[in-house]
Structures are given as C-alpha cells and as structure tokens.
Amino acid sequence: MTRANSVMVEDRATAAARTRLTAVMSAKVGVLRRADELQEAIAELRELHSAVDSAGADVPEYEFYNLLTLATQIAKSALLREESRGVHLREDFPASAEDWVRHITLRLPDLRLEPEEDE
C-alpha cells in the first residue's frame, strides 16, 4: 500500500482480491440465484477470506475485509432463504412462502448457516 497525493492506494494483491470478489458476486450472487451457484460463491469467498491477513492491515485492506465479510453474509443469507421474495429471486425456489416471513440473522465471528427466529 502506498500514499499518492494523500490518498490511500491499495496494493496489487488487494486490488486483485477485490476484482475476484466483484467477479464472484456478479456471477454467482447476482439477480437470479440458485443453490449450486451460491454454494460455489461461498466456497470461493472462504478461499479469499483465508488468503486475507487482517493483522497489520491498512485502510484499503480493512475495507476489502469488510466487503468480503458483507459479501459472505449476503451469499449465506441468500442460500438459506429458500423462496423468492422482493428482489431476492431464486430460480430453484420461484414462489414466496409464508413460513419465510422472517429475518435471517448471521452473527460474527462464525456467520452460522441457520436462521434465527425474531425475538
């Protein structure tokens, strides 16, 4: 990471990881979703996550880590919601289901893959 004109510039590794994150989310967690693609996306996001070392990270690296965490939560939540509702469209579950009228909560650090009931 370098400073250029008082602006933080991410290094090539972080830039490449951000590009890969964008590609995974666009290709596999886009508008129309399917379980197989969501599972592939989660696996690829796990690979990216294992390659990230947040110890001693600078601002662009922390920003990428935050984007990666959010992307993982979105993919896992989309996989859990086995219905289509609003702008969440599942090709493998095209109908809405009344038993899914609830929120999905994922908590750090483990980002569990089970829905929590509303309190």
For domain 2-100, which CATH number applies: 1.10.3860.10, 1.10.150.20, 2.40.160.40, 1.20.58.100? 1.20.58.100
* Cis before 60 (ω within 30): no
Q: What is the largest CA-CA distance in the chain?
A: 54
CA gap 74, 45 in Å, rounded: 11
The full DSSP string for 28-87 is HSSSEE-HHHHHHHHHHHHHHHHH---TT--HHHHHHHHHHHHHHHHHHHHHH--S-BTT
Report which of 60, 67, 66, 83 is spatially closest to residue 14, judged by C-alpha positions. 60
Q: Does residue 104 have a pLDDT over 80?
A: no
Q: Residue 2: is its pLDDT beyond 50?
A: no
Length of the chain: 119
Annotated domain spans of the chain: 2-100
Q: The tokens 């294992």 sit on which residue?
A: 50
Q: Is the model's pTM score more than 0.75?
A: yes
pLDDT the model gives residue 27: 96
Give per-residue pLDDT as tens, 67-100.
Answer: 999 999 999 989 998 888 888 889 998 888 887 7
Copy the structure tokens of residue 32: 């129309």
